[in-house]
Amino acid sequence: MSELTDFRRAKDHFFASDSQSPFLPEQLRDFPHLEYFPEDPSYRFVLELVEFPPEEREVIEMATSTGDARPSLRWGRLDFSVGGQSATLTVYKSEGNEELFLPFGDATNGGESYGAGRYLDLVPMEDGQLLVDFNYAYNPYCAYNPRWSCPIPPAENRLKIPISAGEKKYPGAREN
């Protein structure tokens, strides 16, 4: 069993049984598990984060699913290739938080995956590069429960190519 399989089982258990689950009680009655794309190593990258110079690190107001805005600092970019096509995504930091956040949309949104986009949380490796494993891409909690306010990936992070990895759209999930 892979680390990813263990991660997915733990997430399913959390969603099904934890009091902090994003699911509404009526959704839990028929919840077997989340849906995922099969694990695919071609969606796993070790990338250098090209940090923006301090003068180019601007705070943007990222729209949320509830119509609010969440300030996010444009921190850097990732350049990579998927299926022979070049892609660039912007990485963000929340004010007062050192974690790197990658909200993204792709060609699977609205069909195979949640329509508003998905997320990845990134952690620098010891050598300063980032492990960017789209097999861990996940839906925001607002995909399951309208009480959650979730950042919507900005236009600069909308890919025209499919990222057929990570969490799929859950039947009955709300669409923004």
- At 75, the amino acid letter reads W
Find the helix or strand (DSSP H, E) in which 8 lies: helix 3-17
What is the C-alpha separation between 163 and 107, in angstroms, rounded?
7
Q: What is the mean pLDDT of residues 22-50?
A: 91
Closest of 99, 143, 135 to residue 117, by C-alpha: 143
Distances (CA, A) of 114 to 88, 98, 108, 141, 163: 20, 27, 8, 11, 12
User: How confident is the model over 29-41, as pLDDT tens digits?
Assistant: 888 899 999 999 9
Q: Is the pLDDT of residue 144 over 60?
A: yes
- More confident of the two residues 175 and 117: 117
Q: Residue 118's beta-bridge partner residues?
A: 104
Residue with tokens 């429960």: 145
Q: Is the pLDDT of residue 98 over 80?
A: no
Which runs of E-coded beta strand occur in the chain? 44-47, 50-51, 59-63, 69-82, 85-94, 100-104, 118-122, 130-133
User: How confident is the model over 115-131, as pLDDT tens digits?
Assistant: 999 999 998 888 989 99
Whether 173 and 143 have beta carbons less than 8 Å apart is answered as yes
Q: Is the pLDDT of residue 158 over 50?
A: yes
User: What pLDDT is stored for residue 1 in this prediction?
Assistant: 58
User: Residue 25: which pLDDT band, with cuts at 50, 70 and 90?
Assistant: confident
User: What pLDDT is stored for residue 31 in this prediction?
Assistant: 84
User: Residue 174: which pLDDT band, with cuts at 50, 70 and 90?
Assistant: low
- At 140, the amino acid letter reads P
